[in-house]
Amino acid sequence: MRIVFAGTPEFAVSSLRAAARHHEVVAVYTQPDRPAGRGRGLAPSPVKLEAVARGIPVFQPENLKDEAAQQQLRALQPDLMVVVAYGLILPRAVLAIPTHGCWNVHASLLPRWRGAAPIQRAIQAGDAQTGVCLMQMEAGLDTGPVLLQQALPILPTDTGGQLHDKLAELGAQVLADGLGLLRAGLKPVVQPQPVEGVTYAHKLDKAEARLDWSRDAAALARTVLAFNPWPIAEAQLAGERVRIHGAVALEDNGGHAPGTVIGAAREGIDIACGQGALRLRVLQREGGKAITAADYLNARRDLRVGA
């Protein structure tokens, strides 16, 4: 099969490898190089780096609405277009170009968590499981029928980064299964998404990373997990802004007002919340690196219980 692959971030790299393993990937589409790093120089996407290493031609249009870009895609004569976290909307005209249409690897069990940030939103919501769907794309946002899916439990300790890596590998496996069926002339049977249970995983916003101590400690602990490694939760701690890389929820806040430091020991720094308390285990000061609560307390000898 002649496959065109469209993807951008690290999440899509495993799927590109799976697509290239037994099929001819004739081209890769990825977003244009973007400024990155302290020097703000233009940096290629992880998918572009993988494609270049494999000798696959790379195309980086600003969008696919342009007739010239669509004509370029038609000239590739793709049997299938595989889309994984590409980050650009595909017009109807593009969806109709490949012989078998466009397939999308999506990191949730649709119709739950359609949209941009399904991995983090599943952790934030306290979902017991998530998974990957291989979907036939249509004009709506993640509304197309599902071809294959595979569930995955969410562990209580899973961070956004850890779950991302698990789902990236699972997505590659599900894609490989679907491509194997199609290659054998057994295209997966489409299953329309249920009408019930639709939720949307809105794009992450840095403003959401600021913890509000008046909220429930369990919800804050899930936010700390979900936002690791980006954008990393942050909060005010005894007059200092810190980033929080690791925390657990405690049931009792001792009746203290939200934001009060009610415990400070090697095991962690306990902050009263609207319900329960949040024990901060790994923190980061301005301009510093992530350190344990014990190391933080060595640097903050002024910090006392009730401060």
Tell me the per-residue pLDDT of 26-54, one tens digit each, with 9 for 90 and over: 999 999 999 887 778 899 999 999 999 99
Query: Who wins on pLDDT, 227 or 38?
Result: 227
Q: For residue 146, give the 3-state DSSP assignment.
A: strand
Name the binding residues for (6S)-5,6,7,8-tetrahydrofolate. 108-111
Name the binding residues. 108-111
- pLDDT, residue 41, reads 86
What domains sit in the chain, N to C, each tagged with a CATH number? 2-201 (3.40.50.170), 207-299 (3.10.25.10)
Mean pLDDT of 141-151: 97
- pTM for this model (two decimals): 0.94
Mean pLDDT of 79-99: 96
Tell me the per-residue pLDDT of 165-200, one tens digit each, with 9 for 90 and over: 999 999 999 999 999 999 999 989 899 999 999 999
Q: Which two tokens stand for residue 211?
A: 């913890």
